[in-house]
Amino acid sequence: MARRRRGGGLDRLLLTLFLAAALLLAPAAAAEAEVEVELEVAVTAPAPAQDASEEAADAVAQQQEQHLLTSPLVIKLPSEASERGAGSDEWSYDELPPEVRCESWRLAAEANNLAPWGAVPAECAAHVRGYLTGAGYRSDLELVARESAAYARAAPLGGHGRDAWIFDVDETLLSNLPYYADHGYGLELFDHHEFDKWVEKGEAPAIPSSLKLYKEVRELGFKIFLLTGRTEGHQAVTVENLNKQGFHDWDKLILRAAADRKKTATTYKSEKRKEMETEGYRILGNSGDQWSDLLGSSMSARSFKLPNPMYYIP
């Protein structure tokens, strides 16, 4: 009996020690658990931020996709074959519509790309008439005058009274459209006798944009020379016609003398410009409707070509 009591006491003692040890170890285990929880939170906390950045990247990608074209932008130009018609491999100038050919002819005439010509092609008579009587001709004249005036205003005058500007007369200052309206706007070959009759009437109107340019160039201080292919026999009527249309106070009017009549316009006008330079003038500007008014020798610092698809003077 006594042994049993002593054994039971021992058992109770061991149980008490175990419980005491358990109570002592419990706080440490709890602390370790908290550390593990905190570490887990610290490690896993950035995960939401990573998810957010992925969502943002997806949103940007979607926006970019919305701005991308669903297919490449392709601009298709009409092929020559489609313009000529199916089954055709070649086309010629003669196959183009007359209006297109006449536009090309007029451009070539103004650019001095044609061989010397005497009259407007028959198929282009209507085109040339429409151009000269429509807004296109007036617009072209106005643009030439505006560019000429801009150049004149910016030109460095020497202050010695020797800076010159040359003007042609016919189709440059005065318009002969009333005469050419009765002669097919250049469709007929030029007739000197018929044209002289018109000149002697002294009824050629001024080209408005040229009159404005003339006055501005004169007011800027340029010496004005009128260099025309008209003959000296038409001097009086030419002066009267010019004055009546508002042209005044030029410095010199130069007409063809008898010795000049067999010269080409290019040669005649080049010689007259050379005489101006010999007299000490500096030719800064030159306005004319023919290339023969502008080309050759002793050319001006700047030349201005007015449109004229009615006739060609070499």
- The structural domains of the chain, with segments of one domain joined by +, span 93-305
Residue 170 token pair: 């016919």
- Among 52-66, 138-152, 179-193, 210-224, the least confident range: 52-66
In this predicted structure, what is the pLDDT of residue 6? 44
What residues contact residue 17 under an 8 Å CB cut-off, 6+ apart?
none
**pLDDT value of residue 56:** 52
Higher pLDDT, 43 or 263: 263
Give CA–CA dist 90/80, Å, rounded.
9
93-305 is a CATH 3.40.50.1000 domain:
yes
Amino acid at 75: I
Length of the chain: 314
Task: Mark 144-183 as b/e (b = at least 16 C-beta within 10 Å).
Answer: bbeebbeebeebeeeeeeebbbbbbbbbbbbbbbebbeeb
CA-wise closest residue to 107 among 84, 87, 131, 90: 131
Q: Indicate the pLDDT class of residue 41, thresholds 50, 70 and 90.
A: very low
d(CA 306, CA 142): 9
What crossing angle do the helices spanning 135-154 and 125-133 adopt, rounded to 10°?
60
Per-residue pLDDT averaged across 12-34, rounded? Answer: 54
pLDDT at residue 233 is higher than 60: yes
Mean per-residue pLDDT, 280-289: 98
Q: Are 284 and 163 in contact (CB under 8 A)?
A: yes
Of residues 76 and 125, more confidence is placed in 125
In this predicted structure, what is the pLDDT of residue 304? 98
**Average per-residue pLDDT for the chain:** 84
The model's pTM: 0.73
Classify 286 as helix, strand or coil.
strand
139 phi/psi in degrees, rounded to 5: -65, -40
Mean pLDDT value across residues 141-159: 97
Q: What is the reported pLDDT for 197?
A: 97
Residue 263 and residue 267: Cα distance in Å, rounded? 6
Structure token digits, residue 158? 């020497």
Tell me how many degrees the CA angle 148-151-156 measures, rounded to the nearest 5. 140
11 pLDDT exceeds 70? no
Least confident among 8-22, 175-189, 276-290: 8-22
Q: For the ranges 86-95, 106-115, 215-224, 238-247, which has the lowest average pLDDT? A: 86-95
Distance CA 194, CA 246 (A): 26
